[in-house]
Amino acid sequence: MSSEEIIYQKATSMSQGETHYCPGCTHGTVHKLIAECLDEINMVDDAIVIAPVGCAVLIYDYFQIDGVEAAHGRAPAVATGVKRVHPDKMVISYQGDGDLLAIGMAETIHAANRGENITVIFVNNAIYGMTGGQMAPTTMVGQKTTTTPSGRQPDDVGLPIRACELLNTLERPVYIERVSCHNSPNILKAKKAIKKALLNQKEGKGYSFVEVLATCPTNWGLSPKKSYDWLEETMIPYYPLGNFRDKEV
Amino acid sequence: MSKKILMKGNEAAAEAAIIAGCRYYFGYPITPQNEIPEYMSKRLPEVGGTFIQAESETAAINMVFGASASGARSMTSSSSPGISLKQEGISYLAAAQLPCVVIDITRGGPGLGNIAGSQGDYFQATRGGGHGDYRVIVLAPANCQELADLTLKAFDLADEYRMVVMILADGFLGQMSEPVVLPEPTNKVFNKDWAVGIGKKNKVASLILSPEDGLTKHNYVLKEIYDRVEEDVRLYEEYKLDDAEYMLCAYGSSARICKQAVEELRSKGVKVGYFRPISLWPFPYKELKALSVGKKKILTVEMSLGQMIEDVKLAVEGSIPVDFYGIPGGMIPTPEAIEERVLSYE
């Protein structure tokens, strides 16, 4: 036994090597939180991640767990098929804002409404990252993107959609929470929420949903630091953090 | 098990899927295939299976994707417009080499069309309605018995080649009732080492960005499988072709009508027989070519404006004339009209 004590190490459920994410992007942080939670709740060998289309499409390369890549927006449907075959496995649907709220809105709502015993991690960075910065359903009013060059105009394209509030109208979800990844205190809260959402599934409680407010410095045209500030100043007032549902089953 | 049961085509296919070991069905209602999801909703829970009425055809095929990626025998069914919506998922299934069965009980099109049986979806089924360089095995039954038998066979073919297998039957076949002897399970076992959820940390994906030629190589892997299928799975029926001067060529319901036309024409002394492709992809090109030697003419009969005729022409390579008789939009060709056309050749 060495006199040195390990106080921090990479989660065993994470792969070695680097990710392709841009500097200041919070996908890596969210991945890390999920991986740490899987380690801590002892589900590394039983977890299956469903990859979205978007920046996180290669998520299965960054985890040492089973992975299935879904078509754009279809992750909750794919997760449903996987979970129904493997009810004892932990199925995580990891999705971005275009995937979850635009093309996959129907799949999102109906998986939640069925109360599928899965965990959905929703990374909301208010923009389409991988395709180069187009408007997302969650793009802020006035926010400039490559398809809203004058800023998002509500009279033209409507207002940003709030996923937690929308899902909170349904009876079947057991857990809905919005967290953020822009600073350490919030990252710790995010981990707590993700862990709870995963434990709910492990305990067979039902559908759990965690929205993580995230950054996209590259497509926002901001430095990482300014991105964290922008998230706090612009996104959090519109997307209030906190728990929307924590149902004891 | 050799007892004859009067069953609707749709129900016979559904029961055959259960006999084949399919325990996961995901679908969305559309006429004229509704008896399949209805039957599955009742039967699957009885055998410990899962039925989900999905929110859309798109969701249903992606649920199949998930179940298939998990190593289970899984199926969906729909009719023409719904199959259009499933094409996205079928392309992904093909890319990820996931086996599954898709039953298409076709109706008249394009658009919402009508709900009568039609054969206007031959191109969609055999040429792929989805994007990319892929193939789907397409089997075309001509009666309720075959609808059951081919559905059972489809599951083994899907697992053997790790491909999507489509049953292409028109709405008349789905809706008609005939005596059916339910097929026996084949009990073939397939290795599914690639599936998720079996403790192997497997990845099921269709995105290949690197190396630069990674996707090209994957396409060649698929091609090799498709070549094997083309060699191994060419199904057809021939009828009274030995001494025939004319060959009728048709699949599905059209072939049944052609059979009657053959009998009528034979009673009038006209030497005619028919060739019925059962596998539409792979199409039995070689067999059709061989059997057409010495014939004066081929008449292709379809419930469409002429789609399979392209494969018939490819098969005979211009060696003999190929005529067409067809009717689109959910109407059925009559034996009399076919007879009249053949008599005009005399």
Per CATH, the number for B237-344 is: 3.40.50.920
Sort out which chain A residues have CB atoms less than 8 A from B70's CB and list them. Answer: 81-82, 85-86
- CB of B122 within 8 Å of a chain A CB? The answer is no
How much is the pLDDT for A117? 98
Asked if B92 and A77 come within 8 Å (Cβ–Cβ), the reply is no
Where would I find the beta strands (DSSP E) of A102-237? Answer: 119-124, 175-180, 208-213
Specify whether the CB–CB gap between B4 and B182 falls below 8 A.
no
**CB-CB: which of A61, A81, A114 is closest to B67?**
A81
CA distance A53 to A31: 16
| The two structure tokens encoding residue B297 | 């003419």
Paired with B238 in beta bridges are B275
- CB of B214 within 8 Å of a chain A CB? The answer is no
Residues of chain A with pLDDT under 70: 1-2, 249
> Where exactly are the structural domains of chain B?
5-233, 237-344
Nearest to B105 by CA among B22, B41, B24, B12: B12
The distance of A91 to chain B (nearest Cα, Å) reads: 10
Specify whether the CB–CB gap between B51 and B102 falls below 8 A.
no
Asked if B62 and A67 come within 8 Å (Cβ–Cβ), the reply is no
- CB of B64 within 8 Å of a chain A CB? The answer is yes
CA distance B69 to A69: 10
Asked if B58 and A74 come within 8 Å (Cβ–Cβ), the reply is yes
How much is the pLDDT for A84? 98
CB atoms within 10 A of CB A173: 24
- CB of A81 within 8 Å of a chain B CB? The answer is yes
CATH superfamily of B5-233: Thiamin diphosphate (ThDP)-binding fold, Pyr/PP domains (3.40.50.970)
- CB of A127 within 8 Å of a chain B CB? The answer is no
ipTM metric: 0.96
The distance of B65 to chain A (nearest Cα, Å) reads: 6
- CB of B294 within 8 Å of a chain A CB? The answer is no
Name residues whose C-beta falls within 8 Å of residue B82's C-beta, 6 or more positions apart in sequence: B28, B30, B57
Q: Are the folds of B5-233 and B237-344 the same?
A: yes
- CB of B93 within 8 Å of a chain A CB? The answer is no
CA distance A189 to A182: 11
CA distance A63 to B126: 38
Sort out which chain A residues have CB atoms less than 8 A from B24's CB and list them. Answer: 81, 84-85
Size of interface A-B (CB pairs under 8 A): 117
- CB of A82 within 8 Å of a chain B CB? The answer is yes
Verdict on whether the full-model pTM lies above 0.90: yes
**Amino acid identity of A154?**
P
How much is the pLDDT for B240? 97
- CB of B103 within 8 Å of a chain A CB? The answer is no
CATH code 3.40.50.410 for A26-246? no
Residues of chain B with pLDDT under 70: 1
CA distance B52 to B66: 13
Nearest to B292 by CA among B269, B321, B266, B270: B321
- CB of A86 within 8 Å of a chain B CB? The answer is yes
> Where exactly are the structural domains of chain A?
26-246
Sort out which chain B residues have CB atoms less than 8 A from A77's CB and list them. Answer: 54, 58-60, 62-63, 65-66
Paired with B178 in beta bridges are B7
Specify whether the CB–CB gap between A185 and A178 falls below 8 A.
no
Asked if A57 and B207 come within 8 Å (Cβ–Cβ), the reply is yes
Asked if A78 and B200 come within 8 Å (Cβ–Cβ), the reply is no
Sort out which chain B residues have CB atoms less than 8 A from A107's CB and list them. Answer: 55, 58-59, 62
Of the residues A61, A78, A113, the best mutation for testing chain B's interface (the one with the most B CB atoms within 10 Å of its CB) is A78
Helices (H), chain B: 9-19, 35-46, 57-69, 80-95, 122-127, 144-161, 171-175, 214-232, 252-267, 285-292, 309-316, 335-343
CB atoms within 10 A of CB A112: 26
Interhelix angle B57-69/A105-114, rounded to 10 degrees, is 70
CA distance A208 to A199: 9
